[in-house]
Amino acid sequence: MHLLEGEKVSKHFGGLAAVADVDFYVDQGEILGLIGPNGAGKTTLFNLISASLKPKPGKISFKGIDITPKPAYKICRMGIARTFQTVKIFPHVPVLRNVMVGALFGTGRFITSSEATKKAEEALEFVDLTPVKNALAGDLTLAQQKRLELARALASSPELLLLDELMAGLTAVEVSEAMGDVKQIRDKGVTVIMIEHLMQAIMSISDRIVVLDYGKKIAEGTPQEIAANPKVIEVYLGEECDADS
């Protein structure tokens, strides 16, 4: 049984298919990369998994349970956490309390404030934000805010973590650090699905990659198979040519 599985998952906005009949799965302990040109439907698929949106038609199962009709907070409490392409933090709240939100409300069980503080501090230590734990979240750099959002997701003790462009806008050194974080997260037993445009990063840490284009899955395989896939090469060469024109 796959940890997460989607069957014929679709989502239309008006007459436009943002995601169209996509089958996908991820197994326990995998790092699954999700790539494709801008507008390919990657974040929409994350929104469908996390229940920000509902597929129509389609079915998504987590640990064998149909989660399609469940609200977002229940899916989070089942063990699915995510970050966002554009960070969604509480800017006027201290860093530590931002992360405590994940610990207090993301697990579905009652924990005390002291327990939540401990979990938040552990998550902040993991992402190297302990020195700024009392700073306002809005005063952090972009790289720090991305790590803050990651810490908040980790504080909910997820089994599956969805990372939406964690490395976008980071320096080469910060990208390297983020790649190390993702590997450590997987080593802790958390399965990861990540959207990323940095091909060197996604190819080097993914066990398997799914490629979307105009809402459809056009390829799936190991990084080596994806790098040699003529359709994938065509899609990315086309995107680069459009950018240059």
Q: What's the CATH number where 224 sits?
A: 3.40.50.300
Residue 27 domain flag: yes
Q: Going by DSSP bridges, is the β-strand pair 16-26/65-66 parallel, antiparallel, or unpaired?
A: unpaired
Residue 113 domain flag: no
Structural domain containing residue 208:
1-69+195-245
Question: Is the dihedral angle over the CA atoms 161, 167, 173, 174 positive or is it negative?
Answer: negative
**Which residue, 188, 117, 124, 118, is CA-closest to 158?**
188
Domain total of the chain: 1
Q: How do residues 181-231 score in pLDDT, each as one tens digit?
A: 999 999 999 999 999 988 889 999 999 999 999 999 999 999 999 999 999
DSSP-assigned letter for residue 196: -
Residue 36 domain flag: yes
Evaluate if residue 144 carries a pLDDT over 70.
yes
Residue 7 domain flag: yes
Task: Please name the residue ranges forming H helices in the chain.
Answer: 42-49, 72-78, 95-105, 113-126, 142-154, 172-187, 199-205, 223-227, 230-244
Evaluate if residue 241 carries a pLDDT over 80.
no
Query: What residues does 32 pair with on adjacent strands?
Result: 193, 208
Q: How do residues 81-123 score in pLDDT, each as one tens digit?
A: 999 989 999 999 999 999 999 999 888 778 899 999 999 999 9
Residue 51 domain flag: yes
Residue 41 domain flag: yes
DSSP-assigned letter for residue 66: E
Q: What is the largest CA-CA distance in the chain?
A: 57
Task: Please give the Cα distance from 79 to 231 (Å, whole number).
Answer: 35
